[in-house]
A and B are shown apart, each in its own frame.
Chain A
Amino acid sequence: MTSTLHRLVKVVSLALLVGLGATAIAETDAPAGKAVEGSAKANALKSCVRPTDWMRRNHMELIEHQRDLTVRQGVRVQKDSLANCIDCHARHDDKGQPVPVTAKGEFCQGCHGFVAAKPSCFQCHSTVPSSADTAQR
């Protein structure tokens, strides 16, 4: 009797844990997932410059690595550049104007807001595609 009750408690708590885990994963996925949909170029592409799962965890390594190569040695490979990230992931509003990637719910802010990690890239770097920031001037 006791062992059956124990087993039941175990199963229920396991189910609860799995449920909680799934919710957490769904929530972390939600912000970026929503931001990729719609008018961003990335929406039309099958994956990012690396597999999506890998990019979620390691995009900062790519950006930081190329930042030193670019500034110090003039290597400006388009593929892994921050400018390319912005070009591809910035959405456009109804009027066709690009929405900054740091605006609420947008590509960068979506996840970074959730994990409370502020990206310092945009203290200096543009948050809209290069075509738009040329027009700003």
Chain B
Amino acid sequence: MSKSKGQTDMDRRTFMGLTVGAAATLVAPGVFLHSIAQAGDREQPVTDKVRWGMLVDTSKCANGCSACVDACKTENGLSNHGRPATDPTWIRKVKVRDNFTGRETNLPLMCQHCEFPPCVDVCPTGASFKRADGIVMVDRHVCIGCRYCMMACPYKARSFIHEDIEIKPTNAPRGKGCVESCNLCVHRLDNGQAMTACAEACAKAGHNALVFGDLKDPNSPVSQALKQLPSRQIRADLQLSTGVRYSGI
């Protein structure tokens, strides 16, 4: 875990006093608990009132289109060394073929932002974590680059940075020796823009295959789409309760 100097220095009596005091103030005004923060407020911690998620409508995902992949690379400064086996990939296009019928389906695959993420379970340092709003992320300050999470992920969603990074965007700091993956454009969400770069690019390309939004808000675009379309999780048998759902597969 990350270090927290204040707590290790605190003696037991002070700690107990603070805990009891905090519990008393928090429990009494129960309504207050639910009205602390709103999505996109830079000054407040994120809460579990929101769960970010996505629906991929594979019937609209075009063969050969890479708008989402390109947008992700631009947004997060993912450089390409021409070595596909090791180049960082946060989102990739996958084509699946039913051998019996011959039907082909295109879909983008990225971190599925599981409610019960295996990458978090296996992380030895606590670097891999799930934010209150459902985004599964890597705390690069704590990541030691052991890559257990990459082995644990059933979706092959994580990448390891093997080489020095030349361009470091302010919004997406990254460096050699850490594992990384899709973070649903967390910098955009924290700044109040409830739209990921991939979904934006997909809409701009005229496909609208990616619908992004708050799964807990019944009026959000993603909740509305999920209500209408039949959808499923990839590897639903693992019971990870993914935040990214697919229709048409």
Contact = CB atoms under 8 A, between A and B. Distances in A.
Interface in B173-231: 173-176, 178, 186, 189-191
Interface residues of B, number: 32
Interface stretch (A17-25, A28-36, A76-84, A108-116): A76-84
Interface string B137-172: 101110000000000000000000000010111110
B42 A71 contact: no
Given A67-B141, A124-B174, A137 B45 contact: no
B211 to A, nearest CB: 22
A126 B186 CA distance: 17
Nearest to B127: A71
Interface in A52-104: 67-69, 71-78, 83, 86
Most buried by B among A71, A78, A129, A133: A71
Contacts, number: 70
A125 interface: yes
A130 interface: yes
A71 B39 CA distance: 15
Interface of B: 2, 4, 42-46, 74, 77, 129, 131-133, 137, 139-141, 165, 167-171, 173-176, 178, 186, 189-191
